[in-house]
Structure 1
């Protein structure tokens, strides 16, 4: 999945993951694909209160369970745990984005946000599903 360009399939798979996490009662506060300029690849950023309260190990186990189920139901599913980065709900990027973008706590949107700076934080490219 480490690649320079996301395609429609990547966007759909990310949306499906967010919906399946919702169905599994895993609290997704924010979710977005973010292009990492330094590594020249995309990462799926997920901010969750689960991470805030129980730490990264349990959050990664929970999401891995959902990913395994998605792969069992869809052999073509490409998102891997190594493509996902968990952050706290008070992560600086999430806080900055929430000053500009609000999708609501249950919505899975598809907002492209490219080559913008907010509060001196430059975002080369992002595809936002949720900022609650």
Structure 2
């Protein structure tokens, strides 16, 4: 299924996920929707402030936390990629743009530090 449109429902659900994780002790350092034109789909990418050797443990903690969300409209975790903030798209964007709190910035068709971003919706990115 082609997911080349980022719809309002996904934008809101992702924002609620970021807030929910912050509120439940999983401090988000960076978060953005990233369009992958090769796969013709959007992926929500998150990096946490806490450093861990095993990124997989974050998936488990996020799944445990969101299982208690009840009726909140959170983004489905099958659409989420958790990455190391120092070895990912966040490292390339560091110092270029800062987005804090629950703001959103659209970033399209730009090359930053050698990385081409076809399209991105940035929720959080330290300056």
Q: TM-score, normalised by structure 1?
A: 0.85
Structure 1 residue 119 displacement after superposition: 1.9
Q: Which runs of 5+ in 1 are unaligned?
A: none
Q: TM-score, normalised by structure 2?
A: 0.88
Kindly indicate whether residue 44 of structure 2 is the aligned counterpart of residue 44 of structure 1. Answer: yes
Distance 1:58 1:12, change over 3 A: same
Give 3-state SS (helix, strand or coil) of 2:106's partner: strand
* Segments ≥4 residues shifted beyond 4 Å: none
Distance 1:93 1:78, change over 3 A: same
Q: Which residue of 2 aligns with 1:18?
A: 18
Determine if contact 1:67/1:80 at 8 Å carries over to the other structure.
Answer: no
Query: After the TM superposition, which residues 100-119 of structure 1 pair with which residues of structure 2 at under 5 Å, given as runs?
Result: 100-104=96-100, 107-119=101-113
Structure 1 residue 100 displacement after superposition: 1.2
Structure 1 residue 25 displacement after superposition: 1.1
Query: RMSD over aligned Cα, in angstroms?
Result: 1.9
Q: 2:78 aligns with which of 73, 76, 82?
A: 82
The structure with the largest helix share of the pair is 1
For residues 61-117 of structure 1, give each alpha carbon's deviation from its aligned partner in whole angstroms, at most 9, with x where no partner exists: 1111233233x314xx4622221111112024102212211124xx12111011111
Distance 1:54 1:23, change over 3 A: farther
Aligned counterparts of 1:43 and 1:62: Cα–Cα separation in 2 = 19
